[in-house]
Structures are given as structure tokens and as C-alpha cells.
Amino acid sequence: MGGPFAWNGTYGMLTPAQQCALHTARFMHDHGVSQEALCEIALACYANAQRNPRALRFGKPLTREAYHASRWIVRPFHLYDCCPENDGAAAVVVTTAERARDLPHRPAPILAAASGLGPAYGAFDQATLGSAHYQQVGKHLWENAGCRPEDVDVAQFYENFTGQVLMALCEMGFTTPDGVEEFVSGGRLVGPDAAFPFNTSGGNLGEAYIHGFELVNESVRQIRGTSTCQVKSVERALVVAGPGYCPGSAVLFGDPT
């Protein structure tokens, strides 16, 4: 083994769940975040999946009691904090604005995109633990878009594990680490009329794990008005891809009108 795995692999740290759990545990410890915040992410994804007949978890709702009763995978992740493994596919067509006007479906213009490397992932030192490494991505995206997080109408956050969503919400500018538990609690992420419409197709946890690509499709549906969990008057739809690993990226779609 070479690189970081030469140091952690020999002690059994081999899987993404183990790696992301370490970051999540540090984040929760530093900011007083409870297990309930992770639970809220899982519950929201499963609840929104109940509106989506395509979803892997359609017809299989999750309760708070079932979440807490599920087995540990690696603390602080229960079974339902982890995305499934499944087969599937997703695709998009990217073309010019001029060509898109002649196509049968309503286009979803790309308003802005950003990617960023952040600190080297895998060192697990004091400087990198407890972060999704998205500060640079967020800064560049909002600069490129000419708008702010509060201007987003619906957001799709990649959740291979629930903890990375909490960190990415903070680093993308939607809330602060000390306020993130309140931000996600009380059903604020559930349904088309949510205070913060989130992972409306069910996300990686509830719809399917297509490495987050299905989140792009769902954002396009929201712009077109064809989602099974359609938010009213969507002008901006955000996708945040792969928090917890770097490089990371985000894209903002807009209303063509």
C-alpha cells in the first residue's frame, strides 16, 4: 500500500464509511451536534422517496424508531445513514442555449458551476478532520452565480452518508455548524412545501445511489416542473456533489424564462 492507506489501511480503515465517520464524529463533537441531526437527513430522504415511484425505497417508509434501532455500521453511522448499493443509470444532454430552444423538453440552463480541491483528503490531521472540504466550492459557486444560498429554491445534496450533508450545508453557506441541527430539524426538509426543499426525489439514500448523478436529473425536473415532489416556482436548483471527498463540485440550474 502507498500513500495514506499505508498508514490507516493496516489498522482497518479501508472503507468510505469508516473514513467519513471519522470526519462526522469530529464535526459532531466540535459543534455539539446530536445523532438526531443525522436521523433528520435520513428521514427526509425516505419521506421524499415515498412520492417517487422510481425510488428504491418507495413504499418503504422509515420511522425515527426504526432508524435508531438499526444496527451500527461504524459510529456515528447507523444502517440508514449509509446509501445503498444498487444498479442503475442516469443521463443528461448538454447543448447550447440556441439548440435547446428547438428540443422537445424545456431546458434547464446552467447558471454557474464550481469545483475545488480543498485540503488533501486522507491525512486525517487536525486541520482536515470535521470538514466536507467545500468552502472553496461554495465561495466560487456564489461568485460565479451572482447570487447567494438564500436565493436557492430547491437543493440536492449528495449523501453517501448523512454526516457529510451536515458539513456541506454549512460550508456551502446555508447555515452554521452551531445552527445546523436546528436547520434540519422539525420536518424542515420534508416535502415540496418544506422550509428548505431538499433531495426531493429521495436522494442517494431513498431514490438510488447512482453516484449522485440522479441528483442532476432531479434538479432538471424541478426546473421543468415535472418532479414527483415539485416545489412551487423554482427559479434556481442546486446540486452539491460528493461532500467528504475532494475534489468536489456543485452546479446551479436556472429557469430559462
Q: Which residues are catalytic, by number?
A: 158, 209
Question: In angstroms, rounded to a whole number, what is the distance separating the alpha carbons of residues 34 and 28?
Answer: 7
Question: For residue 178, what is its C-alpha cell?
Answer: 452551531
Cβ-based neighbours of 186, under 8 Å, separated by 6 or more:
none
| β-sheet bridge partners, residue 240 | 157, 250
3-class SS of residue 240? strand
Q: What DSSP designation does 82 have?
A: B
What CA–CA distance (Å, rounded) separates 188 from 184?
A: 6
Q: Is 17 helix (H, G, I), strand (E, B) or coil?
A: helix
What are the residue ranges of helices labelled H in the chain? 5-8, 16-31, 35-49, 64-69, 97-100, 135-145, 162-171, 180-184, 203-206, 213-224
Are the C-beta atoms of residues 233 and 81 closer than 8 Å to each other? no
SS3 for 253?
strand
What is the residue type of 73? I
CB 71 within 8 A of CB 197: no
Phi and psi, residue 48, nearest 5°: -70, -30
How many angstroms separate the CA atoms of 214 and 203, rounded? Answer: 8
